[in-house]
Amino acid sequence: MTITLPTRLLCAIAAGLAVTFSTVPVVSAEPIEMRISVDTGPSHTRNQSLRRFIEVLNERTGGQLDIKLFESAQLYKDGDVAKALRQGSLEMAVPGNWFLGGMVPETTVLMLPIFYGLDADDVIGVLDDVVAPWVGPKIEAKTRSRVLGDWLFMAGTSWFTVDKPVASQTDLAGLRLRVPGGTLFVALAEGLGATVVSIPFSDVPLALSQRAVDGFLSASDSVVSAKLWDSGVKYAFKDNAYYAAYVPLVSDAFWNKLTPELQAAITGAWRDTIGDAREAAKQADTQAREVLTQNGIAVSESSPEDLARWREKMSEAMPALVARMEMDTDFIEQVRAGIEGRTN
């Protein structure tokens, strides 16, 4: 026997089903794309640390994120990632702090003369306790991003030369040296009596071979990764002229698409891997200096007395540099107090 339902009842049932199905959340089976951009090569400490971060994050999110690390500027150079994050065309980047100075001048404070030659532990303490808490919210506002946590802190730098041995700061006077771009780097080299030559790091090997420059400022592992002894580098002078730091940024456009659980997983993975990453950077510097020696580069270090003397001498230019960089003077005083609290 066929039972025919009244038309009005059928309409009511259909309407009810429509409401039911419209309120059921649609769960996408596709993982959410998360691209991370860096412009350093695969062997760099930053890249290795990010691979560990990705490994931990994948374990904790069970395939909900499609995480890809784009190395060697395959997506963006570090100088371009702030704009990409702000526009929402990139999910994550970890740029060097000096690349953010155009937006937030105080981000480059570690390059001021008062930090010259300081012990790494003292610099890390001031970075974590004073610099990052003050600068972080301003970086977030300018880049429309979120700072994930502690910055990746790298080992101190050295001066590398091709012909002239450098045993102290006075030996740098008159040399033509390549430094990373920016007012504070130029002031650093000129404060030591050198002449600055502005060229991209990718052009350094040829410039060294042709003696267009006498040397350059860099971290030891960067010299090892580029095998610059093949370009004539013979000497290294370590004075911890500055400490590089990389800022972990996730774009708001990406962050706001995530569930609270995924957000917590990302911040947790960074928190739980950054300590090892910092330690790895320290070990990488030690290992790199051994490789330099093995390849015939004579490595020397500044004496603590010379570091203190040159730090005091170059710090005389601090007021002019702070004004030129348009840094907040109250913040600078907080930084100065933080340094004095650790070194006195």
In three-state secondary structure terms, 28 is coil
Instruction: Name residue 280's amino acid.
Output: A
- pLDDT score at 226: 87
Residues in CB range of 298: below 8 A, 6 or more apart: 165, 234, 235, 236
Q: Which pLDDT score is estimated for 11?
A: 45
How far are the Cα atoms of 110, 114, 212, 334 from residue 131, in angstroms, in the given order? Answer: 9, 14, 37, 9
Sign of the CA dihedral running 50, 51, 55, 61: positive
Cβ proximity of 157 and 218 under 8 Å: yes
Q: How far is CA 315 from the centre of its chain?
A: 25
Cα separations in angstroms, 69 against 47, 106, 250: 8, 28, 13
Q: Which residues of the chain have pLDDT under 70?
A: 1-29
Burial class of residue 79, CB neighbours in 10 A (0-12, 13-18, 19+):
middle
- Please give the model's pTM, rounded to 2 decimal places: 0.86
* Domains (range + CATH), the chain: 32-343 (3.40.190.170)
Residue 222 has what pLDDT?
A: 86
Q: What is the pLDDT of residue 25?
A: 34
Q: How far is CA 45 from CA 50, 82, 138, 282, in A?
A: 9, 21, 27, 10
| pLDDT tens, residue by residue, 280-312 | 999 999 999 999 999 999 999 999 999 999 999
Collapse the DSSP code of 175 into the 3-class scheme (helix H, G, I; strand E, B; otherwise coil) and give the result: coil
